[in-house]
């Protein structure tokens, strides 16, 4: 498990659920990229509603099975590691929003049972 403490960088990527990279959802492809590159971890959060640059409101309703809900992919790691992977992230995306911010990691450990 990589050591992660103190000041780090949070990379946050906002994409639509329907966005693809190759034959898989973009958010899954991004998580796999971060795993292969040895990042400390990645999380995908599914939004219940939102809009982006086109100002189209996306929400999930029972009659709308193709809502294209907002997805947020987050990773926290060293600035250098994030800088190194950003060009590949940009190549994978055809839209969306990418942000960076400094964060302070207080705790990063495995569960006591080893998971």
**For residue range 21-70, what is the model confidence (pLDDT) as tens digits?**
999 999 999 999 999 999 989 999 998 777 777 777 777 765 555 567 88
Percentage of residues in the chain having pLDDT higher than 90: 60
- Give the residue-averaged pLDDT of 85-109: 94
| Closest listed residue to residue 97, CA positions, set 40, 47, 23, 38 | 47
Task: Collect all residues with Cβ–Cβ distance below 8 Å to 44 and sequence separation of at least 6.
Answer: 27, 31, 71, 72, 73, 74
What pLDDT score was predicted for residue 109?
Answer: 80
**For residues 50 and 85, what is the distance between their CA atoms, to the nearest angstrom?**
27
What pLDDT score was predicted for residue 43?
Answer: 97
| Closest listed residue to residue 42, CA positions, set 50, 52, 34 | 34
Inform me whether the pLDDT recorded for 85 exceeds 70.
yes
3-state secondary structure of 75: strand
């Amino acid at each position: 498990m990589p050591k992660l403490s103190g000041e780090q960088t949070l990379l946050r990527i906002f994409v639509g659920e329907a966005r693809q990279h190759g034959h898989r959802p973009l958010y899954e492809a991004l998580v796999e990229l971060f795993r292969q590159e040895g990042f400390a971890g990645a999380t995908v959060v599914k939004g219940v509603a939102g809009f982006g640059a086109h100002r189209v409101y996306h929400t999930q309703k029972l009659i709308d099975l193709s809502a294209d809900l907002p997805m947020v992919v987050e990773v926290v790691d060293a600035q250098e590691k994030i800088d190194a992977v950003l060009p590949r992230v940009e190549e994978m995306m055809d839209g969306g929003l990418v942000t960076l911010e400094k964060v302070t990691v207080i705790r990063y450990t495995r569960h006591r049972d080893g998971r």
